[in-house]
Structure 1
Amino acid sequence: MRVQQIMTSPALGVTPDTSIATALRLMLDNRVSGLVVLDAQGALVGVVTEGDFLRRSELGSEKRRSWWRDILASPARKAADYVHDHGRRVADVMTGKVISIAPDTTLEVVANLMLEHGVKRLPVVDDGRVVGIVSRANLLKVVAAALPGTEPGTADDRAIETAIAAELERQTWISARYITARAQAGAVVLTGTVFNDEERKAARVVAENVPGVRSVADQLLWVEPISGTVIPPAN
């Protein structure tokens, strides 16, 4: 799937000279947590987000330093912090270094960029123009839509057992021969052996992710590999 299939378009935008009051009202009225910042030609010059407004004189949350950090801070750094905490224009608080993506970027790349750079949204730019914005919320909608359903009457027990076995076979954390899945009307019972609690959880997740599975009963035996102690299932 590509960004252009899930992005929000058009992206709400402001200019660097837009007042902070106007930008905040635009965000609140439209229930968004960030805006793109565009110059007079419509080119992307930054983003402004809810996080940019957390250190503000109105909240009493201006940036404060310990006495020794205050001594080390340059006058230019102190002046820049004052502008951010007290400024009245978007240019005073916005983030100027922006990571942007193309409309045909894959969702895998988008997710990795967000995680790597700690950002919640990415502007989508095509031929120098902002055509949309993709946020974590857009990605979560894709995840929610892809999760298997549990509607009654949709289970094919043999297909469920085959799918669980195939997924276990693909994994390297345990041999598939140690776990058996049996399904009846979508209710799966896992039996066999695991060697730590994480393998137990992972086996349950494998079963839960197969379409048509309505419930998973864990009857796996946990064998501690060093001592050989057998820990029975909790249920």
Structure 2
Amino acid sequence: MTGPLARDLMTPDVVTVPPETPVMAMARLLADRGISAVPVVDAEGKVLGIVTEADLIRRLAGEEDKPTSWFGSLFADPASQAERYARTHGVTARDLMTEKVVTVSPDTTAAHIAQMMEQQNIRRVVVVEGGKLKGIVSRADLLRALVAPPAAEGAELSDERIRRAVLAAMKKEPWTDTFYTMLEVKDGVVTFHGFRRSDAVQKALRVLAENVPGVKEVKDETQPMPVFIYGAA
């Protein structure tokens, strides 16, 4: 037994952006999708870099940067200053992205990924196969692997993989709400919790989940969205 692999832990169907994507478009994307990073890929799907919330915050904070004093400039590293200027004043994903992306293969073990994150002080790794992006494994994914019960021998799809597939499918649809609507999977049965915006949305969610391989049944235990929440949404 080698434990869970990257292919079991990763979030598939990752949202990506081309290098020409404007800064504000990326900020809206992360906020709307509730994600903390977005890979930058070229037309062939090759990963060029990654833009995180920290990069965007650094970009916004850069607007408040004060000029370095004459005395301080004597000891400053011009290369570092130039790099910071580009990342705090850039207007596209290419300007802001971190180019040195830590990647793993789908068969990399969770233990090795955890070791890499610890040693390199990073929050996520990118899963690639054949040079193409396959998914992302975050620290939260590793924590879920620790608390998830082991899959039964011979099981084709674990509950955790089904849960990830449903969640990934939800994030691709503009009418879903992964902030107020949560889900759990047990023995292939998907149960939705939280709040629902409308019966139409919940019907669509049921259809969406039923189309995910491995799902045996879908249960809806959501409650109507409270007025004070719905009005602020």
Fold shared, TM-score > 0.5 on shorter chain = yes
Provide the residue aligned with 1:108 in structure 2.
Answer: 111
User: 1:65 and 1:144, CA in 2 relative to 1: closer, same or farther beyond 3 A?
Assistant: farther
Runs of 4+, deviation exceeding 6 Å: none
Provide the residue aligned with 1:208 in structure 2.
Answer: none
2-side partners of 1:35 and 1:132: how far apart?
A: 11
Provide the residue aligned with 1:152 in structure 2.
Answer: none
Is 2:138 the counterpart of 1:135? yes
Identify which of 14, 17, 32 aligns with 1:14: 17
| Structure 1, gaps ≥5 residues long | 148-235
| Aligned positions, number | 147
Shift in Å, 1:82: 2.1
Question: Given that residues 55 and 62 in structure 1 are in contact (C-alpha distance below 8 angstroms), is that contact kept between their aligned partners in structure 2?
Answer: no
State the TM-score, normalizing by the size of structure 2. Answer: 0.57
| SS of residue paired to 1:47 | strand
Q: Deviations over 1:94-144 (max 9, x none)?
A: 100111000010000000111111111111001111011111111111223
Shift in Å, 1:60: 4.8
Question: Given that residues 56 and 62 in structure 1 are in contact (C-alpha distance below 8 angstroms), is that contact kept between their aligned partners in structure 2?
Answer: no
Provide the residue aligned with 2:92 in structure 1.
Answer: 89
2-side partners of 1:49 and 1:63: how far apart?
A: 24
1-side partners of 2:38 and 2:138: how far apart?
A: 11
Provide the residue aligned with 2:148 in structure 1.
Answer: 145
Relative to structure 2, which stretch is displaced further, 90-99 or 80-89? Answer: 80-89
State the TM-score, normalizing by the size of structure 1. Answer: 0.57
Amino acid at match of 2:35: V
Percent identity over the alignment? 37
Larger RCO of the pair (alpha carbons < 8 Å, separation 6+): 2
User: 1:6 and 1:63, CA in 2 relative to 1: closer, same or farther beyond 3 A?
Assistant: farther
Compute the RMSD of aligned alpha carbons.
2.3
Provide the residue aligned with 2:37 in structure 1.
Answer: 34
Question: Given that residues 62 and 89 in structure 2 are in contact (C-alpha distance below 8 angstroms), is that contact kept between their aligned partners in structure 1?
Answer: no
2-side partners of 1:26 and 1:124: how far apart?
A: 21
Is 2:7 the counterpart of 1:4? yes
2-side partners of 1:139 and 1:41: how far apart?
A: 29
Question: Given that residues 63 and 85 in structure 1 are in contact (C-alpha distance below 8 angstroms), is that contact kept between their aligned partners in structure 2?
Answer: no
Q: Deviations over 1:54-98 (max 9, x none)?
A: 323457553875764422335554333222112110111110011
**Which of these two proteins has the greater Rg computed from alpha carbons?**
1
Identify which of 44, 47, 63 aligns with 1:44: 47
1-side partners of 2:36 and 2:88: how far apart?
A: 19
Identify which of 72, 78, 82 aligns with 1:79: 82
1:140-219 aligned within 5 A: 140-146=143-149
User: 1:74 and 1:21, CA in 2 relative to 1: closer, same or farther beyond 3 A?
Assistant: same
2-side partners of 1:103 and 1:67: how far apart?
A: 50
User: 1:56 and 1:4, CA in 2 relative to 1: closer, same or farther beyond 3 A?
Assistant: same
| Structure 2, gaps ≥5 residues long | 151-233
2-side partners of 1:91 and 1:45: how far apart?
A: 8
| SS of residue paired to 2:127 | strand
